[in-house]
Structure 1
Amino acid sequence: MKMFFSTLNVILIGALLWSYTNVYREIPTRFTMSLIIFSIALLLYALMSNPLVHTVLGFRGSGLGPFAFIPDLFATVAVIVLLYQSYQ
């Protein structure tokens, strides 16, 4: 589940970053730039929390068991809301 939500977050945040970049090209404001920086930070979080990246870099899983995906689930919901709002 954690790998699914982490990968979904990477995809959604990439779409969000693309959207904010397009808005910044049309209307270059400080607020839009801060949204881009926020999206980059979320993207880095999603990439670094993905178990696939940990495996590729040679690290093994820690604990938390079935509850390891819950932070990624909340991040997914937050990104979906931001993405929805950016297209309204």
Structure 2
Amino acid sequence: MEQKMMGHNRRPSLLGSAISQQEAHVINIGDPDGPPRLISYLASSQGFVWNPEIFIPSYVDYDYTPLENRREPIHEIFLSDEEIEQMFPK
């Protein structure tokens, strides 16, 4: 008995490129003259920007830009004339 495999095409993803990008930060909280004490944390991943206060101990005086003051990058989207005509019927 032969089984037929039902195949289908996967629809294109509607997610932006930000979902696959990751950014990690490493800071040294040790004394300047002593051995390094490094903390590494994930700054952004899966489309989210993580709050550094979660990862950095409260006793460390670390300068960072709060999330509400952070500027988001602009991703430009280019459309061809044909794509624009399909979106806006005449």
TM-score (norm 2): 0.23
With CA pairs under 8 Å and 6+ residues apart, which has the higher RCO, 1 or 2?
1
- When Rg is computed on C-alpha atoms for both structures, the one with the higher figure is 2
More helix as a share of residues: 1
Question: By percentage of residues, which structure has more strand?
Answer: 2
Could you tell me the TM-score, scaled by structure 1's length? 0.24
